[in-house]
Amino acid sequence: MTRGMAIAIVIAFCSLPSAKPALAAQQVYIYSILHPFYGEIGTFTDTIERTGEVTRIDSRLRVAVSLLGIVVYRQESDITEIMRGTRLVSLESVTEKDGVRVEVHGTAQGSQFLVNATAGAFAGPATIAPSDPWVLKGIGEGVVVFTDTGRIVAVNISGGNYEMVSVNGVAVSARHFIVMGDKRQDVWLDGQEMPVRFRVTEQGSPIDFILQDPAADAGAMAVAQVKAPSLARPGNASK
């Protein structure tokens, strides 16, 4: 990992399931972020709240990599997505990568989803999906918007077969989806369509997001606890 590297959250596609009842309380899910060389480098937290047809997803990414006690890379992102039914209606995010601030402001307008971001202005179809593993439900082709940059990318999603995947040292049966856009990314969904693990590849290194307490009850308040990230030194990576 170098100072110029940015962790982009995995691309997703399709829609939130409409058949599930509205949840009475918000759900909080915390993922540990594991790098194959540096070990645990941070956390990714999703807070999901459903009210009727409206779903709000607040995401918080905190990454710091240190060598010999010196932070050599830092990335922080705060993202808010609002879905009405299966449609993304609003996207707001602020990301700081080594002191560089990037903002994204997106809204649905008629048959389009319009984005005004630090990287420029972009437009996509009203059926666009955010780059969020929580909205991945099936295979096919579609268009997504990167929540941290506002870029709009066409993707193809394949797979969906069940396999055993390791989550915190426990073998979990999950459907494995492969997302192909400008890079390959992977998502594993358990029987409740919950992403228990997902992976992005940056500069040739697979970076895994592992859900803490994947057995959390999906129908109640679920807060998965995780220890403060311990930045492993090179050669001591746990993965």
> Using one digit for the tens of pLDDT, what is the confidence trace for 156-203?
999 999 999 999 889 999 999 999 988 888 999 998 889 999 999 888
For 113-160, the pLDDT digits (tens) are 999 999 999 999 999 999 889 888 789 999 999 999 999 999 999 999
C-alpha 8/C-alpha 183 separation (Å) is 11
Selection from 184, 190, 188 nearest residue 198 by Cα:
188
- Residue found under tokens 């807070």: 47
pTM: 0.79
What is d(CA 162, CA 164) in angstroms, rounded to the nearest whole number?
7
**Residues 219, 20, 91, 205, CA torsion sign:** positive
Residue 139 · residue 19 · CB < 8 Å: no
Contact, 220 vs 226, CB < 8 A?
no
